[in-house]
C-alpha cells in the first residue's frame, strides 16, 4: 500500500513539473514586432572581427601606457569609442 501511494505521488509530481519545464524552454518572452525590444540601436553594431581588432589595439595602447585597474578600464572604453 505504501508503494502504490509513493508511485502515485511520483507520477503526479512528474505530470505537474513537465509542463512547467516545457514553458521555460522558449528563451523568454517573444518580442513583438515594432516594440522597443526589436528596435535597432542608435548606431549599427560593428562586425565582430573589427570590434575584436579595435579592442586588442586599445589593450596594447593601455599596456604601453602601463595602465592598470580602473584607469585601464576607463582608457580602453574611451579608446574603443574613439574618444582618445
**63 pLDDT higher than 60:** yes
Task: Inform me whether the pLDDT recorded for 37 exceeds 60.
Answer: no
Q: What is the pLDDT of residue 13?
A: 73
Residues of 15-50 as b/e, b for ≥16 C-beta within 10 angstroms?
eeeeeeeeeeeeeeeeeeeeeeeeeeeeeeeeeeee
Q: How far apart are the first and last CA of the chain?
A: 77
Q: Using one digit for the tens of pLDDT, what is the confidence trace for 4-19?
A: 888 777 777 767 766 5
Please list the alpha-helical segments (H only) found in the chain: 2-23, 48-65, 69-80
Amino acid at each position: 500500500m505504501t508503494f502504490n501511494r509513493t508511485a502515485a505521488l511520483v507520477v503526479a509530481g512528474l505530470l505537474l513539473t513537465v509542463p512547467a519545464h516545457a514553458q521555460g524552454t522558449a528563451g523568454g518572452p517573444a518580442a513583438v514586432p515594432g516594440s522597443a525590444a526589436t528596435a535597432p540601436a542608435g548606431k549599427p553594431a560593428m562586425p565582430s572581427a573589427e570590434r575584436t581588432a579595435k579592442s586588442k589595439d586599445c589593450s596594447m595602447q593601455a599596456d604601453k601606457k602601463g595602465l592598470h585597474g580602473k584607469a585601464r578600464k576607463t582608457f580602453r572604453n574611451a579608446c574603443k569609442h574613439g574618444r582618445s
